[in-house]
Amino acid sequence: MGDIKKVLSLKKLPPRTITPTKFWMDLCENVHLHLRNYRLDMSVREFKQFINFILKVYPKIYEVIEKNNYKEGNYDFHALFSTKQVINPDSDYYPDRLSIELQRSRNVHIHYRDLRLDISEAEFVELASAFSSALETYKEFLKTKIELPAGEQEVDIDLIQPYDEGHPPLAEDKEHREGIEKLKELIKQGKKIRPILIRPDGQRLDGYKRYMAYKELGYKTIPAIVDPEAEMGDQDGQSWLIEDDKDSKDN
């Protein structure tokens, strides 16, 4: 996931329409590894390196998965697998290519170095729109230095970066959705909601559900406590409401 500073563009895509269920390999002008609508081009030399790496690290990967109680969805770092094998910084095929091609089939191929993305025209329009929007947001963001004063205040909701490893964009689960909907009802009822906790640069530390509830209701500002010394989770155990509502919980 990484450490997000600013989400430049965020869209929810429709289901895949191009080879959504395929996983295969073919030998053509080079070695192609296909996963759904992605294709990675390799030379035979690179493919041998890739296979050799998988064979060497597989026993270690299997041991962590099967014996060390590894669970998907847990963002704690579990293990790094590597060998002493060194690969070239540039791929053997297309190390400097960036190409967008409309096919006779009306699909669109996006080539980025040795990676190809095969998408429909509709998906391409969405992707192009996202890049255009992201570029404008990026230019504006470079002009802005966010340094909010410490203390409790109403903060422009668009200055806040709400995501972290536990709350990635568009990866909401049932528990989060139920909480957001409950909070939206409390806000509509005029209940006094506990301010979220953020850093001076706008990074949210606590209050993801509260942020999303205000955002989805169309609020331009949100009550927040700006604290340069605060840490993630400092509001754990506190209720959503200022008054002690024991049926509420913060997250």
197 in the same domain as 120: no
Full domain range(s) for residue 119 = 23-141
pTM over 0.85: no
The one-letter code for the residue type at 188 is K
CA angle centred on 10, ends 9 and 12, rounded to 5°:
145
Identify whether 115 is part of a domain: yes
Whole-number pLDDT of residue 41: 96
189 in the same domain as 92: no
Identify whether 208 is part of a domain: yes
Domain boundary among 117, 141, 165: 141
Whole-number pLDDT of residue 137: 92
Long-range contacts of 55-64 (CB under 8 A, 24+ apart): 56/83, 57/81, 57/82, 57/83
Domain boundary among 123, 141, 159: 141
Identify whether 242 is part of a domain: no
Phi, psi of 52, rounded to the nearest 5 degrees: -60, -40
> How many Cα atoms sit within 13 Å of 197 on the Cβ side?
16
Tokens 């790094």, residue located? 80
136 in the same domain as 53: yes
Identify whether 76 is part of a domain: yes
The span from the CA of 249 to the CA of 207, in Å, is 10
CATH code of the domain covering residue 169: 3.90.1530.10
196 in the same domain as 100: no
160 in the same domain as 132: no
The span from the CA of 214 to the CA of 139, in Å, is 26
137 in the same domain as 32: yes
Identify whether 46 is part of a domain: yes
Identify whether 9 is part of a domain: no
Identify whether 194 is part of a domain: yes
136 in the same domain as 85: yes
Identify whether 135 is part of a domain: yes
104 in the same domain as 40: yes
169 in the same domain as 98: no
Residue-level pLDDT, tens digit, the chain, 251 residues: 568 888 899 988 888 888 778 899 999 899 999 999 999 999 999 999 999 999 988 888 888 888 777 777 666 667 777 877 778 889 999 999 999 999 999 999 999 999 999 999 999 999 999 999 999 999 998 888 889 999 999 999 999 999 987 888 888 788 889 999 999 999 999 999 999 999 999 999 999 999 999 999 999 999 999 999 998 888 888 889 877 545 445 55
Whole-number pLDDT of residue 75: 62
160 in the same domain as 134: no
Whole-number pLDDT of residue 39: 94
156 in the same domain as 136: no
70 in the same domain as 161: no
Whole-number pLDDT of residue 68: 74
Domain boundary among 141, 173, 207: 141
Whole-number pLDDT of residue 76: 66
What's the number of domains the chain is made of? 2
